[in-house]
Amino acid sequence: MTQPAENPADEQGRLSALRRLLPFARPYRGLIALTFTGALLATLAQLAVPLLTRRIVDGPIADGDRGALVPLLGLALLFGTAEAALMFLRRWAMGNSSLAIERDLRDTLYQRLQRLPVGFHEGWSSGQLLSRATSDVSTIRRFVGFGAVFLVVNLVTCVVVGALLVVTYWPLGVAVLVTSVPLIAFGLGFEKRYNAQSRAVQDEQGELATDVEEAVQGIRVVRSLGRSGLVFGRYDRKALRLRELQLTKVRTLAVIWCMFEFHPQITLAIVLVGGALAVNTGALTVGGLVGFVALFTVLLWPILSLGFLLAQAQETASACDRVGELLDAPLTVTDAPGVQPAEVARPARLRFEDVGFRFPGAGDPVLAGIDLDVAPGETVALVGATGSGKTTLTALVPRLLDVTRGRVTLDGHDVRDLPLSQVRSVVATAFEEATLFSMSVRENVTLGRPGASEADVEEALRVAQADFVHDLPWGLDTRIGEQGLSLSGGQRQRLALARAVLGRPSVLVLDDPLSALDVHTEALVEHALREVLAQTTALVVAHRASTVLLADRVALLQHGRITAVGRHSDLLAEVPAYRELLSSSAELAGAGEGGAR
Amino acid sequence: MTSPGSGAAATTSAGGAPADAHADWRGVSTEEDDALTASASTFLRGRSRRLLGELVRPHRRSLWWLLAVVVVQNLAWLAGPFLIGVGIDSAVPALLDGDSGPLVWTTVALVAAALLDTGSRYLFLTGSGRVGQEVLLALRRRVFTHVQQLPLSFHERYTSGKTISRLTSDVEALAELLDEGLDGLLTALFSITTIGVVLLFLDLPLGLVALLGFPLLYLVGRWFQRQTTVAYRRTRQTIAALIVQFTETFGGIRAVQAFRREPRNDELHARLNEENRQANHRAFWLIAVFVPAVTMIGNVITVAVLGYGAVRVMDGDIQVGVLTAFLLYLRRFFDPLQDIAMFYNSYQSATAALEKLSGVLEERSTVPEPADPHPLPAPIAGEVVFDGVRFGYGAATVLPGLDLTIPAGQTVALVGATGAGKSTLARLAARFYDPGDGVVRLDGVSLTRLADADLRRAVVMVTQESFLFSGSIADNIGFGRPDADRTEIEAAARAIGADGFIRALPEGYDTDVRKRGGRLSAGQRQLVSFARAFLADPAVLVLDEATSSLDVPSERLVQEALRTLLADRTALIIAHRLSTVEFADRVLVMEAGRIVEDGSPAELVGGTGRFADLHRAWADSLV
Ligand SMILES: Nc1ncnc2c1ncn2[C@@H]1O[C@H](COP(=O)(O)OP(=O)(O)OP(=O)(O)O)[C@@H](O)[C@H]1O
Ligand SMILES: Nc1ncnc2c1ncn2[C@@H]1O[C@H](COP(=O)(O)OP(=O)(O)OP(=O)(O)O)[C@@H](O)[C@H]1O
Ligand SMILES: [Mg+2]
Ligand SMILES: [Mg+2]
């Protein structure tokens, strides 16, 4: 699946993407400061032991003074301990801050994703979302907890030591600075390339995760058609592509690394030659040269490590971009500014006024001017051919989708002018495909009303004829499998129905709620459902005459419009299209022919 | 029903998540316990090490080669400072004497060493990268293939979220080890051995004092190993829990939003996320103690060597120069230990991930392919026999005892109350599960004796859930028979009346149906999955409520297609709409896992049994 990920390749460093992390780092600035202090002090403490060694060699040993040895040794031990303690401090502080940042970022991302509209989720493959919330966020954590600290510490070391070099003997110092120009120039070029390659790898990891998810969730289809070979082939192609992308990345990293490793060594050779010539002309003493070289060797490791630390920073920058794409996705279905809850009666009046809907990017609108008025307490059945837009229409009521034209009103209030949470608590939906979660039966049923009483739950289960739950091994506390797949189709559908009718919502939207039930159970559910429907405003999508009979009126949806509204029997008599769609004789005729075979 | 559930509920939840007011939201289920006994823990580690060994073994030669490269690289790297020393000590004086030769040669040697170092570094990085990627690819392939052939019962228990976390996050944990670890380890091992030897040569007693650090390091290492084994296991579990929560939330986002589940989910996610943070924090804490501890041991030993060395110098046993050199080397001896500590840390983390992965790989299929499959007689006739079949998903029996013969070519309709076991029977016919007792036979051969490819060619089931893969419509239909060309795909769609709506889509057959077919309506999805089975063209077709979401005219089209298709084929059709049932040759009525009526539609409708009732009720419902 291709994401709307335009790649702004023209930007220079791309490290600016890291700025996005600042708000997440801010709460932990104390810990972060501690990390830097710890890192710096530990480096200093590290220097103390060699210095003390020299003192001992020059002092007590030279003098043969055993008494003076002990305090110096004690001091060395003290600094050694300090080094270890500071190291601990740095790691401890770093762990605390980076893990907290990771947690906050992931929570923020999850919360944001939950609130992005259904339309957004349809366009994004699940693996892409997952890989961003897991691998990318972890990449960011690793950088914050390690790379960032040493990047800064090493850069500071380079600058300080560079300045010292210039101070020590400026012609050589300047020469060293000049040699770093090509390194920086080439390095940045490769870093940019590395950024793009990291991005490609991360994207491909998301694709791979998507493939895994589909292969696992579609396992029944794969199994029943015996297509594991085909599915594996798809996965394998992506896995191979991922390997190639990774190897390309590895090669770029190797080049970067080698540049940063080669540079200080070659500079050292230049320093030696330059220094020797300077000594030759008398501009520098041998001692001065030794000092200069010693100072420069301090830089070997910081320069070398800059290579991969910058690469890590680039990788993190592209991870930030990926996470940022989600955080920046617009919340199109959200509360209008300053909305106030309004009075909505129980049951409420539901009206569609010239409602149109067009899927983003699609040509023709699915709905083109729907006018429908559902009086308080009335039940209207929505009938239409497969793909005529019934589900789309029902999704407009709880604002899973927002109209692109006209308005949907509840008691005269446009649903977009009400708080989202109010609309969604007023309206309860049973979807055409029962969406269940691998949680307890109770949690599934009370999904929208966590405070529901035991009596309410029992009542809802009764209406939906879902008493079978009491026979499950742990009754209402039994965990039902993922997607509810440890239940039969009809059992799933009844649980989803129980969830919708729980607490008798004032507007009920049922999308083909009885399609998976046998005739007897259907009759029982209909009987019980009638009581509920008498007290709520309801929109019921129906394919069968039996379901239509639940309704007071029927609306026929054709070509994006409501072309007829009326009683079932009237429509049967008067509207040919309706007869075509719902006539029992059609169903019976089909059956009869078959029986006569 | 008051089951023994309440007691079991208490014990299960006690073993699982921390007990708090909301801990029981997930509900109770029988699942593997995460608390491990010591012997189980050792066993798991052994298993994961074995897996790592198996993965790395094919690359032994490359690893030796890489080791050689590392040795060269280290020598070249160490040559730098040495050459500088030579330069300052002899080339500069020579230059002052007017001889520029030594300077030139030292510089040339210096450049050569730098080139050698850089070149071998490049070889090492690309080489180890290649090995790492090969290992990961092999692991991915292996786990993916394995997971795919595991039975449905496994997937139902394990959940897709956990499988996904195994194949993503756990594999990536190993990637980290391969990415970051190898370099440090090889370099460190090399320098520690060489420097260790040098130390012993420089001065044996001092060398022994230096080596005194090792027992201490061993003890610290043991402690670290014990603790991190537990800690990293926990990180793997918590990240998996997080991934499960994530995939479930966004798999059912419509329900989540429509029922305002977001705040509660925020809370649940925050808790799982916090548990993950704590698990990681524990591991971080351990490493935060371990690495400084290693450094501390190094520093203590250094001080000891310093003290003892100083005494020995004063006693005239060794020269000052030896002590100085010794101390310089000692530093280089202990520094790489940190690299080893870091490697060990990555190793521990990867081992925990490999424990989980090897756990999945250890799972044996409960519906295994036979070792010596029985060939199906060609052409496949399609006679299906259930012989004394008993089956249940868990403890409860769903099918208590089933004897049923479906002669080749017969179209059988299966009706009955929801939850009666119709889908279960169908799944047994398609060998999604194997019966507890008894056998299911196709043309006289037990399904357990058939090669999977043969079985799938012969028996195809359209499940109650019409799952589509993201990709074009043509791809989805073609899934039924991958070698079918576009005309065949279109013919299949046309035969069941799906061609019309597909052509009306903006890109026709090439329209991307998106995640799980979300671009299509429910009925359209059903049509596509029907076309998929139609194209597969099996000898035995099992339809589990394959038309439940269609409108009446579309359903009629499908039925017409079926009538032609099924003329010479065995079919098992499950449906609640009796219109679908009535063109069957034979109707079975199922109740509580038993077949209670069996006869031709006409016979049953005319009789006084349950089907007659059902039919009457249905006819009434049509009004
Ligand atoms: N995300 C989408 N983007 C573009 N078109 C879509 C999208 N989702 C659905 N459609 C199209 O919109 C039309 C209406 O779909 P909808 O699901 O509302 O149909 P329906 O009336 O509920 O059908 P059914 O009876 O099969 O459930 C269909 O033709 C479908 O292909
Ligand atoms: N995967 C599973 N794990 C555990 N129990 C299951 C599983 N699938 C079904 N069951 C149980 O087995 C029984 C029979 O289910 P089955 O799906 O066969 O019913 P069905 O006759 O197809 O019903 P429906 O008409 O509702 O689809 C039900 O009680 C159901 O809860
Ligand atoms: Mg629909
Ligand atoms: Mg079923």
Angle at A251 between CA A246 and CA A253, to 5 degrees: 90
The answer to whether residues B57 and B138 touch, using CB atoms and an 8 Å cutoff, is: no
CB contact set of B509 (below 8 Å; sequence gap of 6+): B472, B473, B474, B477, B486, B489, B490, B493, B502
CA distance linking residue B108 with residue A6, whole number of Å: 49
Phi, psi of A554 (to 5 degrees): -125, 140
Nearest residue of B to residue A47 by CA position? B331
Q: How far is CA B229 from CA A155, B33, B350, in A?
A: 36, 17, 10
Q: How far is CA B338 from CA A86, B189, B282, B291, B333, in A?
A: 15, 11, 19, 6, 10
Interface test with B, best of A63, A197, A272 (most B CBs within 10 A): A272
Instruction: Summarize pLDDT for B506-561 with one digit per residue, the tens.
Output: 899 999 998 888 899 999 999 999 999 989 989 999 999 888 888 888 888 888 88
Q: Of A488, A494, A524, which is best to mutate to test ligand 2, by the most ligand atoms within 8 angstroms of its C-beta? A: A488
**A129, B276: Cβ pair inside 8 Å?**
no
3 state SS of A383 = strand
What is the CA(A518)–ligand 2 centre distance, in A?
Answer: 14
CA distance linking residue A457 with residue A501, whole number of Å: 9
Mean pLDDT of chain B: 86
Q: What is the per-residue pLDDT for B111?
A: 94
CA distance linking residue A307 with residue A487, whole number of Å: 56
Q: Could you tell me if B618 lies within 8 Å of chain A, comparing CB atoms? A: yes
* Nearest by CB: A254 against B125, B311, B430: B125
% of chain B with per-residue pLDDT over 70:
93
Nearest CA to ligand 1 atom 28: A387
Residues in chain A within 8 Å Cβ distance of B314: 60-61, 64, 66
Instruction: Summarize pLDDT for A272-282 with one digit per residue, the tens.
Output: 899 888 888 88
Instruction: Summarize pLDDT for B96-155 with one digit per residue, the tens.
Output: 888 888 889 999 999 999 999 999 999 999 999 999 999 999 999 999 999 998 998 898
Q: Can you say how many angstroms the Cα of residue B442 is from the centroid of all Cα atoms in its chain?
A: 33
- What string of DSSP letters covers A456-473? HHHHHHHHTT-GGGGGST
Q: What is the per-residue pLDDT for A73?
A: 87
Shortest alpha-carbon distance between residue B408 and chain A (Å):
18
Q: Which helix (H) or strand (E) holds B304?
A: helix B262-314
Residues in chain A within 8 Å Cβ distance of B522: 391, 432-433, 512
DSSP letter at A575? Answer: -
Q: Is B521 in the pocket of ligand 1 (CB under 6 A)?
A: yes
Nearest residue of A to residue B286 by CA position? A92
Q: Could you tell me if B579 lies within 8 Å of chain A, comparing CB atoms? A: yes
Nearest CA to ligand 2 atom 18: B421
Instruction: Summarize pLDDT for B329-345 with one digit per residue, the tens.
Output: 787 787 788 888 888 88
Nearest CA to ligand 1 atom 11: B520
Its ipTM equals: 0.91
> What is the amino acid identity at position B50?
R
CA distance linking residue A482 with residue A480, whole number of Å: 7
CA distance linking residue B144 with residue B456, whole number of Å: 20
Q: Could you identify the residue written with the tokens 């499940």?
A: B463
Adjacent-strand bridge partners of B576: none
Has residue A592 got a pLDDT over 50?
no
CA distance linking residue B301 with residue B319, whole number of Å: 20
Compare A215 and A301 and report the one with higher pLDDT.
A215
Shortest alpha-carbon distance between residue A156 and chain B (Å):
22
CB contact set of B531 (below 8 Å; sequence gap of 6+): B477, B480, B489, B492, B493, B495, B496, B498
What is the CA(B527)–ligand 1 centre distance, in A?
Answer: 13
CA distance linking residue B602 with residue B582, whole number of Å: 8
Both tokens of A203, joined, read 């994207």
Q: Could you tell me if B10 lies within 8 Å of chain A, comparing CB atoms? A: no
Instruction: Summarize pLDDT for B245-271 with one digit per residue, the tens.
Output: 999 999 999 999 999 999 999 999 999
**A595, B273: Cβ pair inside 8 Å?**
no
Both tokens of A293, joined, read 């070289």
Interface test with A, best of B131, B144, B220 (most A CBs within 10 A): B144
What is the CA(B424)–ligand 4 centre distance, in A?
Answer: 7
Q: What is the per-residue pLDDT for A101?
A: 96
Q: Could you tell me if B82 lies within 8 Å of chain A, comparing CB atoms? A: no
What is the CA(B524)–ligand 2 centre distance, in A?
Answer: 25
Q: What is the per-residue pLDDT for A58?
A: 77
**Residue A156 binned pLDDT confidence (cut-offs 50, 70, 90):** confident
Q: Can you say how many angstroms the Cα of residue B196 is from the centroid of all Cα atoms in its chain?
A: 43
**B463, A224: Cβ pair inside 8 Å?**
yes
* Nearest by CB: B456 against A69, A84, A225: A225
Q: What is the per-residue pLDDT for B311?
A: 87
Has residue B566 got a pLDDT over 80?
yes
Nearest residue of B to residue A500 by CA position? B259
**A272, B107: Cβ pair inside 8 Å?**
yes
**CA proximity to B476, closest of B505, B453, B450:** B505
3 state SS of B311 = helix
Both tokens of B166, joined, read 């195994």
Q: Mean of the pLDDT values across residues B321-325? A: 79
Shortest alpha-carbon distance between residue B254 and chain A (Å):
6
3 state SS of B513 = coil
Nearest CA to ligand 1 atom 31: B520
**A224, B462: Cβ pair inside 8 Å?**
yes
Both tokens of B438, joined, read 């008894």
Which residues are near ligand 4, the ion (C-beta closer than 5 Å)?
Answer: A 488-489; B 423
Shortest alpha-carbon distance between residue B39 and chain A (Å):
30
Q: How far is CA B246 from CA A111, A320, B103, B144, in A?
A: 11, 19, 65, 21
Q: Could you identify the residue written with the tokens 């081992």?
A: B351
